[in-house]
Amino acid sequence: MATRAAVSVRALRYYEEQGLLAATRSVSGQRHYTESAVERVKLIQSLYGAGLSSKTIADLLPCVDAQVSTPESRALLAAERDRIDRQIAELTLTRGKLDAIIEQTSRPSPQSAYTTEPAE
């Protein structure tokens, strides 16, 4: 299953520890996951990738399962969405800066170039 979701077994255990992922247990204690768990794990990974903490994810995952719609949950969802929005904006700016640098360094030396002249 860890293979199917492309994460480590340790990560799955950690997610379960944090209350992000449920697993039925066999008598001997073995974990069994449903098929939906794979998508669940990918969602979790996405949220981690977006910079959310375990706690935040734990707070908003119930909104995905049962569509509970308390004012707090809606506020949380909106807040995180906006956070991601801002992150995208910042990343776009940063990418722009990098692009500018790339353009400058790839320019065939503007004027008095005592620095690495491409010299066709």
Partner DNA sequence: CTAAGACCTGACGCTGACGTCAGAGGCAAG
Partner DNA sequence: CTTGCCTCTGACGTCAGCGTCAGGTCTTAG
Q: In which residue are the tokens 């293979």 written?
A: 3
Interacting stretch for a second copy, rule CB under 8 A, among 6-14, 17-25, 29-37, 104-112?
Answer: 104-112
- Residue from 19, 37, 39, 53 in contact with DNA (CB under 7 A): 53
Work out whether 69 is an interface residue with DNA (CB under 7 A). Answer: no
Q: What 3-state DSSP class applies to 66? A: coil
Interacting stretch for a second copy, rule CB under 8 A, among 3-11, 13-21, 25-33, 95-103?
Answer: 95-103
Q: Which is nearer to a second copy, 33 or 80 (CB)?
A: 80
Work out whether 63 is an interface residue with a second copy (CB under 8 A). Answer: yes
Query: What is the C-alpha separation between 78 and 60, in angstroms, rounded?
Result: 11
Residues 13 and 30 sit within 8 Å (Cβ to Cβ)? no
One symbol per residue from 27 to 46: x for binding DNA (CB under 7 A), - otherwise; what is it? xxxxx-------------x-
**Sequential DSSP letters for 10-50:** HHHHHHHHTTS---EE-TTS-EE--THHHHHHHHHHHHHHT
**Site residues, DNA (CB under 7 A):** 1-2, 7-11, 13-14, 18, 26-31, 45, 48, 52-54
